[in-house]
Structure 1
Amino acid sequence: MLTKTLKSLFNRDLHKLKFEIDAYQNENNLWRVDKGIANSAGNLCLHLIGNLNTYIGATLGGSNYIRNRELEFSLKDVLKQELINMIEATLTVVDETLDKITDEQLNSEYPMLVFQEKTSTGFFLVHLTTHLTYHLGQINYHRRLLDV
């Protein structure tokens, strides 16, 4: 049951992420920062892609994804269509991985220590949904404030 819920939430919010990135009228504004706004929408998008491909794709799904977290925040001027393609690829990885997760895995310890204390895989996957939603909200505000 939890896996089905998680899959639904990741699908919903990754589609919303794709919508938000595509909604930028001026592609250059994806990379714009302004007073009090430290991260561009493009960098937040790259961060979410790296986060999900690392913690779901590589750790749980066995993909060969190698994260470069520093680049998620320093890389600039990736084309909007390339970001959208990356979101779509991430959605596929998340879907395929969650399709293989069992209830036993959800209740067992997440295979990587991310926080100060160990967590279950189920707890960590719920955390990843809230992390995605948090940054999705930031991207929405970024677009509405700076894509003018």
Structure 2
Amino acid sequence: MNVIPSLIQLFERDLQKLKTEIVQYSQDEHLWLVAPQINNSAGNLVLHLIGNLNTYIGAEIGKTGYIRNRPLEFSEKGLSKNELLNRVTETLDIVKNSLITLPEEALEEEYPQLVFEQKTSTGYLLIHLTTHLTYHLGQINYHRRLLDKVSHESL
């Protein structure tokens, strides 16, 4: 079974869903709302996902030269929907272009960076990245449906 086409399909599906979530915010500013006991806005989660995928897939597998600034993923604010959408689209292209050239046997090889407490295979890391994307996608969906609605009603 070729796993890489399935991974590409999953990343494409969920990054397209991420774009749909961004578009559905009623106002650009609502992407940056936070509520008590919620640490991150949807906009910052989007930036975090972009940084994560560009680091572990783009830079390492695709050799794009991307250099991550993780603190900026959580401190940058106020980008427009269009800017976030463009960045997600660029990230999707990078993910697809990086993975399409990855040989299937590379999934069994040790991933070059230490990401967790111990080394893992490239396949394990890529599966982790799909679940990480889905986890934050769910948070963004809740954020949009709750905070965007509350903010819209109180205006």
TM-score bracket for the superposition, by shorter chain length: over 0.9
Query: Hey, what's the Cα distance between the residues in 2 that align with 1:79 and 1:66?
Result: 23
Residues 73-126 of structure 1: CA distance to partner in whole angstroms, max 9, x if unpaired? 000001110000000000000000110111221110001111111100000000
Deviation at residue 146 of structure 1 after TM alignment: 0.7
Residue 140 (structure 1) aligns with: 141
Letter in 1 for 2:112: P
Unaligned segments of structure 1, at least 5 residues: none
Deviation at 1:37, TM superposition (A): 1.3
Q: Distance in 1 between matches of 2:140 and 2:148?
A: 11
Tell me which amino acid in the other structure corresponds to 1:60.
I
AA aligned to 1:133 is: T
Partner of 1:58: 59
Cα-Cα RMSD: 0.6
The code of the aligned residue for 2:62 comes to G
Give the secondary-structure state (helix, strand or coil) at the position aligned to 2:37: coil
Superposition misfits of 4+ residues, deviation over 4 angstroms: none
Count of residues paired in the alignment: 148
Q: Which entry has the higher C-alpha Rg, 1 or 2?
A: 2
| TM-score relative to the length of structure 2 | 0.94
Which residue of structure 2 aligns with residue 77 of structure 1? 78
Q: Counterpart in 1 of 2:38? A: 37
Secondary structure at the counterpart of residue 50 of structure 1:
helix
1:108 alignment partner in structure 2: 109
Identity %: 60
TM, length-normalised to structure 1: 0.98
Distance 1:65 1:103 in 2: 23
